[in-house]
Amino acid sequence: MKILKMFAPVLLASAVFHVPALGQQSATVVGKSDLAGLLEASPAIPVSVESATARAYGPHAAPYAKNQLDEAYDPFFKRAAAAHDVLKNAVAAHAKSTQDAATVQKEAIARVNSNPLVSGMGGLDKIQQMSPEERQAAARQSAAAIQQNIITGNGRNSPEMQAMMQRVMSDPSYRSKLSSMSETEQRAEIQRNMGAIAPQTAEQHAKAQQSLQAGNEMAQASALRAEMTQMMQHLGQIEVEWLRKDQAISNTPGNHDQIMNEIGDKMAKVPVIELGEYGHDKDPEQVQALELERAKRDRDRAAQELPERIKLYQQRKAQYQELVNGYQSWLKLNQGRINTTPIEAFHNVNTEVSVAAYEEGLIGLSETLAKYSKKIVDETARYEMDYRDKASNASSSTTVARSTKAKK
């Protein structure tokens, strides 16, 4: 093995390759979304329970009024959906306008067939017709031929070189002599036996350039995709942190679950009384009073949480804006690295799709804000409307009771 390694410097010195620049590409379609505008347009959370209720049920918020939040938030969500569609359609049209599927498939097959191992096995079509055993045998034979080709200088196997190799393998004294030579002497001996190495043909040089360019493109694509993956992971981590903060607000003492449990305990202790023709049931006056207490406490709790939710909304929006600014700065510096070549099965160097996916994630941030706003408004308004309903029922019951007593 030591002797075989001596041939590598001579073979590598026989050709010097130039790595060509990437081919001309179309300008990328990413970076056109109005990310900042979408963030700014995301509906904020109203500053009071009353204004939240007015947004959800109208300015008068009469009992049994229809919830109007879908109508209030739909215009924004439609704008965000349109931004998603514009980006998706632009990327799809961009890829389609460059190469059709048949051309992409044809070029992919050609690249596979240009692989020395595949070429040595007869090409992709022939390989597909082989049995598994035949493929293994053909692969071993092709690999052996490639190895021999490397050892003998790209097929330039002169009779002198063959004689030298034979002598190395069969003559211990010559092998020992060769091993004792200096590196310079070994190279000279190998070069003398190989003879003058023929220069590369234009076709060989072109293939070498194509191979190196393909490797360079793949390496650049992998590096950029790795960056986008990290950015997406960071985005996900931020969302998890905001959800944790929101849940922390809900879990503080006096929360809605605690209110429900405490009223439930009280309700269980309400005595059952005689209700005439209605039979027996829990004292309706005490039940009604407890329902009103629960509704009031829930309404007050929602009012207590509202400023904290607004603060959280504003903090999220500010951090989302930082993410958008960071992406736009990154885009200015890395515009030339975005590869718009159509996606191929065997040589995918397209990075535009990865960048577009992250940009879509940034569009989604404004939708996340709007969904959060809608959720808080909906919950706050429902607690307020429930309280109004219970208070109205209690007032009506009191009036009826007083009227009945007066008649007696």
Is 330 contained in some domain?
A: yes
Is 133 contained in some domain?
A: no
Is 243 contained in some domain?
A: yes
Q: 357-392 b/e with 16+ CB inside 10 Å = b?
A: bbbbbbbbbbbebbebbbebbbbbbbbbbbbbebee
- Which range of residues forms the domain containing residue 240? 27-113+207-403
Q: Is 124:113 a contact under the CB 8 Å cutoff? A: yes
Is 1 contained in some domain?
A: no
Q: Is 91:342 a contact under the CB 8 Å cutoff? A: no
Residues 381 and 396: their CA atoms lie apart, in Å, by 22
pTM for the model: 0.69
Is 126 contained in some domain?
A: no
pLDDT per residue of the chain (408 residues) written in tens, 0 to 9? 444 344 333 333 332 222 333 444 678 889 999 999 999 999 999 999 999 999 999 987 776 778 999 999 999 999 999 999 999 998 888 766 555 566 666 766 776 677 776 777 887 788 788 888 887 888 788 777 766 665 555 444 566 666 777 777 777 788 778 778 887 887 777 777 765 455 556 676 666 666 666 667 788 888 999 999 999 999 999 999 999 999 999 999 999 999 999 999 999 999 988 887 777 888 999 999 999 999 999 999 999 999 999 999 999 999 999 999 999 999 999 998 998 888 766 678 888 999 999 999 999 999 999 999 999 999 999 999 999 999 988 766 654 444 444 444
Is 216 contained in some domain?
A: yes
The dihedrals phi and psi of 195, each to the nearest 5 degrees, come to 80, -175
Single-letter code of the amino acid located at 83: A
Single-letter code of the amino acid located at 334: N
- Count CB-CB contacts under 10 A for residue 89: 11
The dihedrals phi and psi of 273, each to the nearest 5 degrees, come to -125, 170
**Overall number of domains in the chain:** 1
Q: Where are the alpha helices (H) located in 252-270, listed in sequence order?
A: 256-268
- Residues comprising the chain, all counted: 408
| DSSP states along 285-353 | HHHHHHHHHHHHHHHHHHHHHHHHHHHHHHHHHHHHHHHHHHHHHHHHHHGGG---PPP-SS-----HH
Is 157 contained in some domain?
A: no
Closest to 376 (Cα-Cα) out of 322, 318, 311: 311
Element (H, E) at 282: strand 280-282
Q: What pLDDT is recorded for position 321?
A: 97
Could you tell me the two tokens for 98?
Answer: 């460059």
Is 5 contained in some domain?
A: no
Residues 173 and 162: their CA atoms lie apart, in Å, by 18
How far from 298 is each of 45, 241, 250, 258, CA to CA, in Å?
19, 26, 12, 10
